[in-house]
Amino acid sequence: MVFILLSIVFVVLRIMPGDPVSSMLGGHAPESVIEQKKEALGLNRPIALQYLHYLWQICRLDLGDSMVFKQRVTKAIAEKIPATIELTICGILITLFLGVFLGAYAADRRGMVQDYVIRLYGIVVYCIPVFWMGLMLQLIFGIWLDMLPIAGRTGPRVFASTFEKTGLYVLDTILVRDFSALGDVLIHLVLPAFTLGLVLSGIFVRLTRANMLDVLKADYITAAEARGIRHRKIVYKHALKNAFIPILTMMGLQIALLMAGAVLTETTFSWPGMGRLLLERIYLRDYPTIQGVIIMIALIVAMASLIVDIIYAIVDPRVRY
């Protein structure tokens, strides 16, 4: 399936009207120069050969060179990926916390006002465009209340080079024990992560609620109640743990949405990640890099379902024994 995705990427990126090389060279370059460049880039070979070359390159993890800058695409992506990973992970955490707890609470208070409000939240929140959410949060917390930063990963007085190791700044600052830098990094994460996390939480609220309603009808819940176990413990420990497993599976399927959301969030918050790279290069018509990023995303999405299966096996004892 990954294979098909990669093929689709290949096709999509070659369908544009017009000639990429001539536009890259400025539109008025002489024919000979254009032909030369095309030859160098291998664009004159038959399409089938280009396709095979493309697949071969991916296997070697060689994503080519940027058309615009003097850099290897792989390197360009590698520089930006940690930022996206950090953002995405924080987003996932927020989505899960919000979604799962609100969903469980709604299931517990079924039929009451809180239930309806939370269900409404679930519907509405998903319909709020990620970027608008980002802009509004920036407006409220960044401009009006002036509490949180609205752009970048670090503030003006913090230099990433002093601690950068893995690229995951939260991790890096902890490793070098630079806690003031850690604070700065965290505070820059707040708004973007919330933007990403809030919008997707709607889905999880509804999923959790639906699963919880089913689980709460189960016999073992009644049996636990019959043993005098307190209600809150039953809902948030016994029931939730059982409802959680299908939610986890769902998480894997949402990676695609997360990636999409990340692109929009990064643009809005000037977050130096893969998403923003993608857009930058689209404006610059740097096709190899564009292709590289999209391939990377396809691979990440494919990997995600694999990871979910592994986590599933860890959490559910019925699978293990």
Partner 1 sequence: MRYSPAAGIGWVISRCAGLGKKYGLEWWILVAGAIIILAIVSMALFAGSIAPFSPYDQDTGPQLAPPGGEHLMGTDNLQRDVWSRIVHGSRTILRVAVLAAIISSVLGITLGLISGFSGGFFDRVLSLVMDSVYSFPGLILAIALAAMLGPGVINITLSVAVIYIPTYFRLVRGQTLSIKEELYVEAAKAIGASGSTILWQYIFPNVIATTVVVFTLNVADAIMIEAALTYLGLGLPPSIVDWGMDLSMGKKFLPSGQWWLITFPGAMISLLAVGFTMLGEGLAEILNPRLLER
Partner 2 sequence: MATILEIEDLSVHFPINIGTVQAVQDVNLRLEQGEVMGLVGESGCGKSTLGFSIVRLLRPPGKIVKGRILYHGQDIVQMSQKEILSLRGRKIAMIFQDPLTSLNPLFRIDRQFIETLFTHERGLDKKTAFRRAEKMLESLGISPERLSEYPHQMSGGMRQRIMIGMGLILNPDLLIADEPTTALDVIVEAQFLDLLNDLRRQYNLTIILITHNLGNVAQLADRITVMYGGTIAEVGQANTIFEDPLHPYTQGLLSSIPNIKLDQPKLKTMPGSPPDLVDPPSGCVFHPRCPYVKEICRVQKPETFTEDGRLVSCWLYG
Residue choice 59, 127, 145, 310 for contact with partner 1 (CB under 8 A): 127
* Binding of partner 1 by 276 (CB under 8 A): no
CA quadruple 162, 164, 170, 174: dihedral, nearest 10: -60
List b or e across 29-45, with b for residues whose CB sees 16 or more CB atoms inside 10 angstroms: eeeeeeeebbeebeeee
Contact partner, 207, from partner 1, partner 2, none, Cβ < 5-8 Å per class? partner 1
How far apart are the C-alpha atoms of 194 and 254, rounded to whole Å? 16
| Choices 1-9, 26-34, 163-171, 222-230; region in contact with partner 1 by CB under 8 A | 1-9
* Binding of partner 1 by 8 (CB under 8 A): yes
How far apart are the C-alpha atoms of 154 and 156, rounded to whole Å? 7
- Between 84 and 173, whose beta carbon lies closer to partner 1? 84
How far apart are the C-alpha atoms of 196 and 249, rounded to whole Å? 19
How far apart are the C-alpha atoms of 190 and 194, rounded to whole Å? 6
Copy the structure tokens of residue 149.
């930063």
- Between 181 and 216, whose beta carbon lies closer to partner 1? 216
The DSSP code for 229 is -
| Choices 63-71, 171-179, 190-198, 256-264; region in contact with partner 1 by CB under 8 A | 256-264
Residues 216-255, interacting with partner 2 (CB under 8 A): 218-220, 222-230, 238, 241-242
Copy the structure tokens of residue 89.
């992970």
The interface mask with partner 2, positions 169-208, x = CB under 8 A, is ----------------------------------------
* Binding of partner 2 by 113 (CB under 8 A): no
Copy the structure tokens of residue 189.
């994460």
Residue choice 25, 29, 34, 128 for contact with partner 1 (CB under 8 A): 128
Contact between 235 and 104 under an 8 Å Cβ cutoff? The reply is yes
Provide the terminal-to-terminal Cα distance of the chain, rounded to the nearest Å.
30
- Between 73 and 203, whose beta carbon lies closer to partner 1? 203
Contact between 252 and 121 under an 8 Å Cβ cutoff? The reply is no
Binding residues for partner 2, rule: CB under 8 A, are 218-220, 222-230, 238, 241-242, 316-318, 321
Binding residues for partner 1, rule: CB under 8 A, are 1-2, 4-5, 8-9, 12-13, 15-18, 116, 123-124, 126-132, 135-136, 138-139, 143-144, 203, 206-207, 210, 253, 256-257, 259-260, 263-264, 267-268, 278-279, 282-283, 290, 294, 297-298, 301-302, 305
